[in-house]
Amino acid sequence: MNRQSLKNTSITFTGHFAIDHIIRFKRLNKPSLGGSTTFCSLALSEYINNVDIRIISHIGKLNFNISLLDKIKNKNIDLSGIKYSQTENTNFVLDYFDHKRSLTLNSRSPNLDFNDIPTNFFRDPPDAFVLVPLCNEISYEYISQILKKFPKTYIGIDLQGFIRKIENDGKVKYVYDEEIIANMENIIELIGDRLILKGSEEEMKLIARKCVNYNDIITHYYKYKNNGIYIMTLGEKGSMLTRRDENILKIPAFKPKRVLDETGAGDVYFSIFLYEFIHSDKSWKSIEKAAYLASAAASFLVEKKGPAGFETKKAVLKRIKKKKYIY
């Protein structure tokens, strides 16, 4: 599935941009650009040069300050896949306290429409199509079309935006909802062997239902009978990865110099892992190496506020060499 060696790796991130209003210890910070498309694309553009990054999204112009995109526009990132409309943009309030957060959705951009994807995306298919929704904006039908039009492309899935339940008051919760979970399970079955899925412990456990301990949660995904890769991030406890007929990988979390903002750490992990996976021989040993690089890259993110704590591969390798883990 790798592209010709003369071509750069190409990864497309798909999902809403968010306006994040972050409250930390009851103090409201000024609005910042959020969403997995933001953190994934910026992290990867800083990490390595030989990668073509594209974004597919839908921005509601009514409450979106276009200057928020300056960080991304200053990078070599293709934004031609963004559609603009006279609607409100996805807008979250994130309230952090004691390493926990509550999330409230104040407004929402329209769902993504497959017909809005520019034609040039089809002429030059990406190595990976990474679906990172924030509030259920990517449908089963959308993914079905992606699979048909990009038959040799890996599909990355970030669980969070597929299984969040949005209450009438905007509160975002992770609670078992039969319809939401059934849709996610159908998506997993649909993608099959091309799947690379990431979720937090809470998210992975929601689908695994009755499973309690880490091993039971992650091995629950063997039931789908595909050769996809399943990643469970565990914060300070690191991460776990599995694939059918392979041993479970346990990857430590690397110790940051300080912790200022945990927002987006999982996104950084995912984007770096996907890049390294594409460049690997797909062996389980090489996948373990990719996970170590992803874990180390994520540890830099928490050292700065907002979408800023990104580092080069050189710096990430240096941190790996020091082997300073959180135990």
pLDDT score recorded for residue 99? 65
- Give the predicted TM-score (pTM) of the model: 0.94
Per-residue pLDDT tens over the stretch 126-164: 999 999 999 999 999 999 999 999 999 999 999 999 999
Domain residue limits, the chain: 9-326
Diameter over CA atoms, the chain = 51
Q: Rounded CA gap, 277 and 28, in Å?
A: 38
Distances (CA, A) of 219 to 30, 260, 279: 41, 33, 26
28 versus 241: which is more confidently predicted? Answer: 241
Q: Which residue has the tokens 């520019």?
A: 118
Per-residue tokens: 28: 């409201």
pLDDT score recorded for residue 2? 43
Q: Is residue 13 scored above 80 in pLDDT?
A: yes
97 versus 79: which is more confidently predicted? Answer: 79
Q: Rounded CA gap, 39 and 52, in Å?
A: 16
**Superfamily in which the 9-326 domain is placed by CATH:** Ribokinase (3.40.1190.20)
Beta strand 239-242 pairing with 229-233: antiparallel
pLDDT score recorded for residue 163? 96
Question: With bands split at pLDDT 50, 70 and 90, how would you rate the model's confidence at 100?
Answer: confident
Whether 19 and 33 have beta carbons less than 8 Å apart is answered as yes
